[in-house]
Amino acid sequence: MTERLVRIYPRFERFWHWSQAALILVLFASGLRVMGLIAALPFGLAFMAHIVAAVALMVLWVFAIFWHLTTGTWRHYVPTTNGLWKVARFYGYGIFRGEAHPYRKAYWRKHNPLQALTYLALKLALFPAIWATGLLYLTYNLWASDAALAGWLPVVANLHILIGFAIAAFVIVHVYLLTAGGSFRDHVAPMITGFDKVDLTPEEEAYLLRDEPARIRKG
């Protein structure tokens, strides 16, 4: 295996990542205003911003899902227990002792086992759940006429809020980890330039040098 600087984050993935981050921040800020926890914005403006950002995020995810499936990028999110304990131990203990990260990025495995498991949970559980509860909350007037369903509004609302805070917690932890185990710049730069250091097999290196030379640089 040879460590090389490779563009492993395509342009769309970087656009999707930063657009999603911006929309989540808008959703969280506007959601706090709608809940009455902050008063920085007029209620009507916050309410509309929340709906527009939510719709934009769902549309973005439709394109992202299509892109993942058609490009094979979904393979990076397949969970594995191989090395999971070592990575979990690093984040829970080793990182505070200055230990080296136990995972080395590979060409077809850019996420470590803990990242893959976390991102998969977000994609298959938290995001679909917050969209479902948000749509139910928004369309309350359409189903509240049924007396048997009307009582579910507090449940839907509380679930939506709980899941929202869970996603916010993920974002906070995600940003915190960018400051640990290396410089913040080293962690953020790959999602701006697309290039990151990965281990390549001789076959992968030969393929990139021959067929996609623009994707590989000297590290």
Q: What is the pTM of this model?
A: 0.87
**Residue 182 carries which side chain, given as an amino acid letter?**
G
Residues of the chain with pLDDT under 70: 180-184, 218-219
Domain CATH number, residue 115: 1.20.950.20
Q: What pLDDT sits at residue 65?
A: 92
Report the number of distinct structural domains present in the chain: 1
Task: Please list, in sequence order, all residues whose beta carbon lies within 8 angstroms of the beta carbon of residue 193, skipping any fewer than 6 positions away.
Answer: 7
Pairing outcome for strands 195-200 and 2-7: antiparallel
Domain ranges, residue 136: 2-217
Pick the closest to residue 61 from 118, 130, 112, 109 (CA basis). Answer: 130
5 CA to centre of own chain:
23
Phi, psi of 3 (to 5 degrees): -85, 120
Query: How do the residues of the chain divide into helix, strand and coil, expressed in percent and rounded to 5?
Result: 70, 5, 20
* pLDDT at position 10: 92
pLDDT value for 182: 64
- 117: three-class secondary structure by DSSP: helix
Residue type, 22: A
pLDDT at res. 18: 95
d(CA 75, CA 72): 6
Q: What angle do CA 30, 32, 35 make, to 5 degrees?
A: 110
pLDDT in tens, 50-86: 999 999 999 999 999 999 999 988 888 888 888 899 9
Angle at the Cα of 102 (from 97 to 108), degrees rounded to 5?
150
- pLDDT (0 to 100) of residue 47: 94
Query: Both tokens of residue 195?
Result: 């290039």
